[in-house]
């Protein structure tokens, strides 16, 4: 005997919210992979601990992906056991996300230090590295419109005369535009890439916060609808 009336509406709402969870899980997996690739391809971060955030995103995304699929099946089939399991797992996910948010806040300064060290390592190895490595550094500087780690002066050992920077530091990138123009603000970006990356993150952090709040709201609503459906299914069993 299936649920009727208002419970049938709850059933379809739970199915709808689980479909959204499924999309959110897929989105977290994609974002985690992109962040992981970006950190190790463009920024060349060597500290293994820096991979924690993207790996955590991927892990949570995979779990949400499968839990949402599980919840969809439970809601559609009106299976009390599956819906209950879904509600329990979703509650655990919320607890893990809260713990991850707290850990991210506690270790926020470490991320800044890791980026600082990685950018310094990039500049140190720039001249003696592969063409692919140099291209990744150049792309980073051109995309963020920055030069060096903290300023263009970080490139003082780039060439013997101590006053040149890679062409990717130039305001208008042309061949040999960085020769002898290290401190010329009209020709070379003076902002360091560390500060540029921090500015970029601060500019986009609001969207991350909004996205996290939306996902948290959907998860809480999912638990509420699951509990309502569980009650409706249980009542149906009692009638039978």
Of 96, 32, 86, 85, the closest CA to residue 62 belongs to 32
The single residue listed with the structure tokens 């001249």 is 127
What pLDDT digit, counting tens, does each position of 24-62 carry? 778 878 877 776 666 555 555 554 445 556 677 778 788
Domains and CATH numbers, the chain: 6-108+205-239 (no CATH), 112-193 (1.10.1450.10)
Question: With bands split at pLDDT 50, 70 and 90, how would you rate the model's confidence at 1?
Answer: very low
Long-range contacts of 26-31 (CB under 8 A, 24+ apart): 26/61, 26/65, 27/61, 28/57, 28/58, 28/60, 28/61, 28/64, 29/57, 29/58, 29/61, 29/62, 29/65, 30/61, 31/57, 31/61
Given this model, what pLDDT does residue 169 score?
Answer: 94
Give how far Cα 169 sits from Cα of 45, 164, 186, Å.
21, 10, 11
Given this model, what pLDDT does residue 36 score?
Answer: 65
Average pLDDT over residues 80-91: 83
Given this model, what pLDDT does residue 168 score?
Answer: 93
Which stretch, 6-20, 101-115, 151-165, has highest mean pLDDT? 151-165
Question: With bands split at pLDDT 50, 70 and 90, how would you rate the model's confidence at 70?
Answer: confident
**Mean pLDDT (the chain, rounded):** 78
User: CA-to-CA distance for 235 and 178, rounded, in angstroms?
Assistant: 76
Q: Which two tokens stand for residue 122?
A: 């990039």
What pLDDT digit, counting tens, does each position of 174-220 carry? 998 999 899 899 999 999 998 888 777 777 666 766 777 777 787 78
Q: Which two tokens stand for residue 182?
A: 């290290």
User: CA-to-CA distance for 175 and 66, rounded, in angstroms?
Assistant: 52
Percent of the chain with pLDDT over 90: 13
Using the CB atoms, write b or e for 144-170: b if 16+ within 10 Å.
bebbbbbbbbbbeebbeeebbbbbbbb
Q: Give this prediction's pTM.
A: 0.57
User: CA-to-CA distance for 145 and 222, rounded, in angstroms?
Assistant: 43
Given this model, what pLDDT does residue 7 score?
Answer: 67
Question: With bands split at pLDDT 50, 70 and 90, how would you rate the model's confidence at 3?
Answer: very low
Find the helix packing angle between 193-239 and 80-106, rounded to 10°: 160
């Amino acid at each position: 005997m299936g649920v009727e009336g208002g419970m049938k509406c709850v059933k379809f709402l739970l199915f709808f919210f689980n479909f959204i969870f499924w999309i959110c899980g897929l989105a977290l997996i994609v974002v985690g992979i992109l962040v992981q690739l970006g950190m190790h391809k463009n920024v060349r971060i060597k500290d293994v601990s820096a991979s924690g955030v993207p790996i955590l995103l991927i892990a949570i995304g995979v779990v949400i992906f499968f839990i949402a699929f599980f919840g969809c099946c439970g809601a559609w089939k009106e299976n009390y056991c599956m819906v209950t399991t879904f509600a329990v797992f979703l509650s655990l996910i919320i607890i893990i996300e809260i713990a991850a948010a707290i850990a991210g806040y506690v270790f926020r300064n470490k991320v800044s230090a890791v980026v600082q060290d990685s950018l310094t390592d990039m500049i140190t190895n720039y001249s003696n590295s592969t063409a692919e490595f140099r291209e990744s550094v150049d792309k980073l500087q051109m995309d963020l419109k920055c030069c060096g780690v903290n300023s263009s002066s970080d490139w003082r050992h780039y060439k013997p005369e101590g006053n040149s920077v890679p062409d990717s530091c130039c305001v208008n990138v042309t061949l040999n535009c960085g020769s002898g123009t290290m401190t010329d603000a009209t020709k070379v970006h003076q902002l360091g890439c560390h500060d540029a990356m921090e500015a970029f993150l601060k500019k986009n952090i609001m969207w991350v916060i909004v996205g996290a709040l939306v996902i948290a709201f959907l998860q809480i609503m999912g638990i509420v609808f699951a509990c309502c459906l569980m009650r409706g299914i249980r009542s149906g069993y009692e009638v039978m």
